């Protein structure tokens, strides 16, 4: 029997009051695959990621982690996860990297990377420090362990945030527009790290405005429009031979803006 996807979303619906922003979306990220979510601002990309990581409650549909469904109580706008321990366990295995780096300003970079594995997972501090230094080396800022976040460039801070996620030893990484807050030069530093992680066979879901990165690193691309999947498929097909008028228009607009 084949292994279930690390993350699977089935018929997801999400509303803010009367406004439904996700209208029946199904996406799967098998182990070792990179899934890129693309689409215009407001299409629901980031909301899907936040629902997958249980940072947002959804009103309908299933979210499964390695085949295990999230348990819910209540219905519709009153639906919430039924088991806080399950939520915590899943969240520690689906680590999210946000647009804004969310580093703690009162901690050094090394302390930022170590904090969650020590306090949330209860791992041995010395073991975590070794791992943290290794991950900071991996993302190219091993020399910044003792620096404060304010002393780093935006690209360095985002790479520290990636090291912090990796130090949790997650089953999958969720990236929410990881380069959108960066200047083009700093953006390339972060893209290189994400490419390296993809080459290692890490399971990732990436919301991105960078079509070149989506084409280069992903196994599967999902184009969202107004809370629905308009088109999806391997990057070669989606970018090389888009089928829908909306996707063709979107790609023309992003190419013109680049």
Q: Is residue 151 part of a domain?
A: yes
Q: How many CB atoms lie within 10 A of CB 236?
A: 10
| Three-state SS annotation for the chain | CCCCCCEEEEEEEEEECCEEEEEEEEEEECCCCEEEEEECCCCCHHHHHHHHCCCCCCCEEEEEECCEECCEECCHHHCEECCHHHHHHHHHHEEEECCCCCCCCCCCHHHHHHHHHHHCCCCCHHHHHHHHHHHHHHCCCHHHCCCCHHHCCHHHHHHHHHHHHHCCCCCEEEEECCCCCCCHHHHHHHHHHHHHHHHCCCCEEEECCCHHHHHHHCCEEEEEECCEEEEEECHHHHHHCCCCHHHHHHHHHHHHHC
Q: How far apart are CA 24 and CA 138, in angstroms?
A: 38
> Would the pTM count as exceeding 0.75?
yes
The tens digit of pLDDT for each residue in 62-71 reads 999 999 999 9
Cβ proximity of 46 and 177 under 8 Å: yes
The tens digit of pLDDT for each residue in 166-189 reads 999 999 999 999 998 888 888 999
Tell me which residue of 189, 102, 111, 106 sits closest to 146, measured CA to CA.
Answer: 111
Tell me which residue of 5, 4, 15 sits closest to 61, measured CA to CA.
Answer: 15
Number of domains comprising the chain: 1
Q: Is residue 74 part of a domain?
A: yes
Q: Is residue 170 part of a domain?
A: yes
For the chain, 258 residues long, give each residue's pLDDT as a single digit of tens: 689 999 999 999 999 988 999 999 999 999 999 999 999 999 999 999 999 999 999 999 999 999 999 999 999 999 999 999 999 999 999 999 998 888 999 999 999 999 999 999 999 999 999 999 999 999 999 999 999 999 999 999 999 999 999 999 999 999 999 998 888 888 999 999 999 999 999 999 999 999 999 999 999 999 999 999 999 999 999 999 999 999 999 999 988 765
242 Cβ contact list (under 8 Å, min separation 6): 231, 248, 251
Q: Is residue 2 part of a domain?
A: no
Cβ proximity of 88 and 116 under 8 Å: no
Q: Is residue 1 part of a domain?
A: no
The CATH number assigned to the domain holding 172 equals: 3.40.50.300
* Arithmetic mean of pLDDT over the chain: 95
Q: Is residue 251 part of a domain?
A: yes
Q: Is residue 231 part of a domain?
A: yes
What range does the domain containing 106 cover?
A: 7-257
């Amino acid at each position: 029997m084949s292994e279930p996807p690390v993350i699977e979303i089935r018929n997801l619906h999400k509303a803010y009051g009367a406004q439904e922003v996700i209208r029946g979306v199904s996406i799967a990220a098998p182990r070792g695959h990179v899934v890129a979510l693309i689409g215009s601002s407001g299409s629901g990309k980031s909301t899907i990621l936040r629902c997958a990581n249980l940072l947002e409650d959804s009103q309908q549909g299933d979210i499964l982690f390695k085949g295990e469904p999230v348990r819910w109580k209540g219905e519709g706008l009153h639906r919430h996860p039924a088991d806080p321990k399950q939520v915590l366990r899943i969240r520690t295995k689906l680590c999210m990297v946000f647009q804004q780096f969310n580093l703690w300003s009162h901690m050094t970079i090394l302390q930022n990377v170590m904090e969650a594995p020590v306090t949330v997972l209860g791992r041995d501090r010395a073991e975590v420090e070794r791992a943290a230094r290794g991950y900071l080396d991996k993302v190219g800022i091993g020399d910044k362990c003792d620096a404060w976040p304010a002393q780093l460039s935006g690209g360095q801070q985002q790479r520290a945030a990636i090291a912090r996620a990796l130090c949790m030893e997650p089953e999958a990484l969720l990236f929410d527009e990881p380069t959108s807050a960066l200047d083009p030069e700093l953006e390339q530093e972060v893209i290189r790290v994400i490419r390296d992680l993809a080459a290692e066979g890490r399971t990732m879901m990436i919301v991105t405005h960078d079509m070149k990165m989506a084409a280069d690193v992903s196994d599967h691309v999902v184009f969202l429009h107004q809370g629905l999947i308009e088109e999806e498929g391997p990057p070669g097909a989606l970018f090389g031979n888009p089928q829908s008028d909306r996707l063709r228009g979107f790609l023309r607009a992003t190419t013109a803006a680049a």
